Structure 1
Amino acid sequence: MSTTTISSREFNQSASEAKKASANGPVFITDRGRPSHVLLNIDEYRRLTGGFTTLLEAVAMKEDDVNDEFDAPRAEIGIRAADLDE
């Protein structure tokens, strides 16, 4: 896997070249010499993020596949007396 770095100006002038380079590894896009964006091909992105679940896949999940162990934290709501003397 190779890493490519290009300026934002180069990216704007040749986005197709950057897309081709992303097939071999991430493409870092710089803005004033500092990395500001990274271009990845979709397979690498899915590998890094653990893939994705479509709505159809979520609906079709078996009950055993669903992680339903979610405990929502209790909300702390401060209540104070109303000032009705005005």
Structure 2
Amino acid sequence: MATTTLSSREFQQNANLAQRAAHTGPVIITNRGRPSHVLLTYDEYERLAGGKRSLVEALSMPGLADLEVEFPHLRDLARPADF
């Protein structure tokens, strides 16, 4: 994966170049020599963000078996209605 670095001026002048470069890896856009933004393809963004998952996929993620979650009992939540 190749990383491309463009100044904000270069990016503004040639956005097509940045889009093509994003297909081979992230494009770092700098402002006054410091990284300020990263351009990715949408597929790469979805991969990094986890994409869309079903509830079954989310609950079957590795490491979830080690979590301890306590759910309150319904009797602890219920109370008489105030009228």
TM-score of the two chains, using structure 2 as the length reference: 0.64
Alignment deviations for residues 11-56 of structure 1 (CA, whole Å, 9 cap, x no partner): 0000010000000000000000000000000111111011136xxx
User: How many pairs align?
Assistant: 61
Alignment of 1:44-59 (within 5 A): 44-52=44-52
Supply the distance in 1 between the matched residues of 2:8 and 2:22 (Cα, whole angstroms).
15
Supply the distance in 1 between the matched residues of 2:15 and 2:4 (Cα, whole angstroms).
13
Identity %: 57
Partner amino acid, structure 2, of 1:45 = Y
The DSSP-based 3-state class of the residue aligned with 1:48 is helix
| 2:33 matched residue in structure 1 | 33
Give RMSD over aligned pairs. Answer: 2.3
Task: Could you tell me which runs of 5 or more consecutive residues in structure 1 were left unpaired when the two chains were aligned.
Answer: 54-60, 72-86
